[in-house]
Structure 1
Amino acid sequence: MPGTPTRIPGPEIALMGLLALALTPATPAAAHFQELIPSTEIVTEGGNTPVGLSLAFTHPMERGPVMEMAEPVQFGVLGPAGREDLKSALKRIKVDGKSAYTAEYRVKKPGDYVFFVEPAPYWEPGEGKMIVHYTKVVVDAFGAEDGWDAALGLPVEIEPLVRPYGLWTGNLFRGIVKQYGKPVPFAAVEVEWRNDGSVKPPADPFVTQVTKADSNGVFSYAMPKAGWWGFAALLDGPTPLTSPEGKEVPVEQGALIWVRTRDM
């Protein structure tokens, strides 16, 4: 009405606004997964023995974005001939403008080959920490089916309790989360499917599945769709690292393993 003075919101209105902002759910940070994906998880007699490997640091279920990946600290394989250093086989490529890597390994004899990578620490300013995801994947050659549970001695590692290949869709995968060789009770394990573009998650909780290990560090998860599944146990590292800004920051040590399921 004419002549009615404009009302200025009082302090109680301002307080309500602040409370509303504080109670607004924050958008969850997308899960980072170090990918180490072979061209096949089983090399058969008479098959194509060179195994191609793709390495990228990304968000598998959301199909990106890909994050810049510096040259790995170590990349190798534990197989019938023992441990081999494969760093010289790495080739840097660009994926969505970011550095990623490929490699090729020729299988020479029957056995299980445990490929692994220790990436360079990745600075995540949004979380204020460095990320190092120790990642492995097992490839069986010529039906040997021996050595799939071999330990690599990494600072953090998932020891498979189920043979991590020859898996049907719906199979239950089980593993032990270990840090410096000891089981980690009640460790949280994030699980993501490497999306081929055929699935659109209906809500954020469907992007990254979360399960917890029991008191012995053992976790399990039934994989509902064919494809590559990544299991990531994210643990606090014991020693801080220096960020690009020159500050000491905490370290996230990730123990990752990739397994593939196929439809029956």
Structure 2
Amino acid sequence: MKKMTFGLAVLCVALFAGPALAHFGMLIPDTDELTQEKRTVALTLSFSHPFEGQGMELEKPAAFFVAVDNDQRVDLLSTLKETKVMGHLAWKTAFTPKAPGLYTFVFDPVPYKEDAENNYIRHITKVVIDAYGEGENWNVPLGLDTEIVPLTRPFGNYAGNVFQGVVLVGGQPAPYTRVEVEFYNKDGKRQAPNERMVTQEVLCDGQGVFTFACPWKGWWGFAGLNTAEKPYEGRELEMGAVIWVEMQ
């Protein structure tokens, strides 16, 4: 039998992550859709291990904004109020759009010092909200240092749907990027049979594209992980492109 090429392998094989407790920037709204009956979205920002329900301190982000129809940016940093998520410092706010459209919320954290890995972690995290059924052009990059651009609509999905995206670094596709995937086990009802099942892992193909099927209802986080070219305060800097998507 001929050997399967590496490119085909990463398209066809999903790998389970070895270590548990993957880090995720979390930006969780109370809805992925705004309507005449629900006009305001509440959002919670945190830094956590979402499946196992273990939180970490999230310093007030360096930046937090909403991009309206992938264009106009509204600075929301001053709207953040302290809260607790999983017993640790987190942030919350609420936002009411002035018009129908696509609203992409983004926070860029102060790098988190992770002594266990002798590095710093910077997860640029986003979530997309559809307001009044007018959310279009959801596959447009925002020009972030690193980001996941969805190839599957990032809202209005059934549980069991496939989510597909492309990881960009510096605006360019990042081939063979490792993407960690984790379910936000908010109520703690889900139990992994063993540690390797807590965090799922897939590789992008040669064009930076990854694919994952989400089996359960709820919020799923996708983190495309790369290493910054320059260290941060003498340590390696993990650059995470994170997006959250709800399956219904």
When normalised by structure 1's length, the TM-score is 0.84
Whether 2:58 is the aligned partner of 1:72: answer: no
How far, CA to CA, are the matches of 1:215 and 1:135 in structure 2?
A: 23
How far, CA to CA, are the matches of 2:228 and 2:39 in structure 1?
A: 37
How far, CA to CA, are the matches of 2:124 and 2:175 in structure 1?
A: 19
How far, CA to CA, are the matches of 2:141 and 2:231 in structure 1?
A: 25
Q: How does 1:69-108 map to 2 (within 5 A)?
A: 69-80=58-69, 82-108=72-98
| Secondary structure class of the residue paired with 1:167 | coil
Q: What amino acid is the match of 1:101?
A: W
| Secondary structure class of the residue paired with 1:55 | strand
Q: How does 1:38-187 map to 2 (within 5 A)?
A: 38-44=29-35, 46-64=36-54, 66-80=55-69, 82-187=72-177
How far, CA to CA, are the matches of 2:104 and 2:84 in structure 1?
A: 25
**Contact 1:113–1:147 (8 Å) recurs in 2:** no
Among 216, 221, 224, the alignment partner of 2:215 is: 224
Structure 1 window deviating more from structure 2 (147-156 vs 99-108): it is: 147-156
Whether 2:189 is the aligned partner of 1:203: answer: no
**Contact 1:186–1:215 (8 Å) recurs in 2:** yes
| Secondary structure class of the residue paired with 2:196 | helix
Whether 2:21 is the aligned partner of 1:30: answer: yes
- Corresponding residue for 2:235? 249
Per the TM alignment, residue 163 of structure 1 is displaced from its structure 2 partner at its CA by: 0.7
**Contact 2:20–2:198 (8 Å) recurs in 1:** no
Larger radius of gyration: 1
Give the share of equivalent positions with the same residue, in percent. 44
Per the TM alignment, residue 47 of structure 1 is displaced from its structure 2 partner at its CA by: 1.8
| Secondary structure class of the residue paired with 2:165 | strand
Per the TM alignment, residue 29 of structure 1 is displaced from its structure 2 partner at its CA by: 5.1
Q: 1:97 to 1:198 in 2, by over 3 A?
A: closer
How far, CA to CA, are the matches of 1:170 and 1:97 in structure 2?
A: 31
**Contact 1:79–1:147 (8 Å) recurs in 2:** no
1:197-252 Cα shifts (integer Å, max 9, x gaps): 1211010111000001101000000100000000001110111111xxxxx11100
How far, CA to CA, are the matches of 1:136 and 1:189 in structure 2?
A: 15
1:118-157 Cα shifts (integer Å, max 9, x gaps): 0111000000000000000000000102132232211110
How far, CA to CA, are the matches of 1:181 and 1:51 in structure 2?
A: 29
Q: What amino acid is the match of 1:33?
A: F
Of structures 1 and 2, the one with the larger relative CO (CA 8 A, separation 6+) is: 2
Q: 1:96 to 1:173 in 2, by over 3 A?
A: closer
When normalised by structure 2's length, the TM-score is 0.89
**Contact 1:50–1:107 (8 Å) recurs in 2:** yes
| Secondary structure class of the residue paired with 2:133 | coil
- Corresponding residue for 2:12? none
How far, CA to CA, are the matches of 1:191 and 1:29 in structure 2?
A: 11
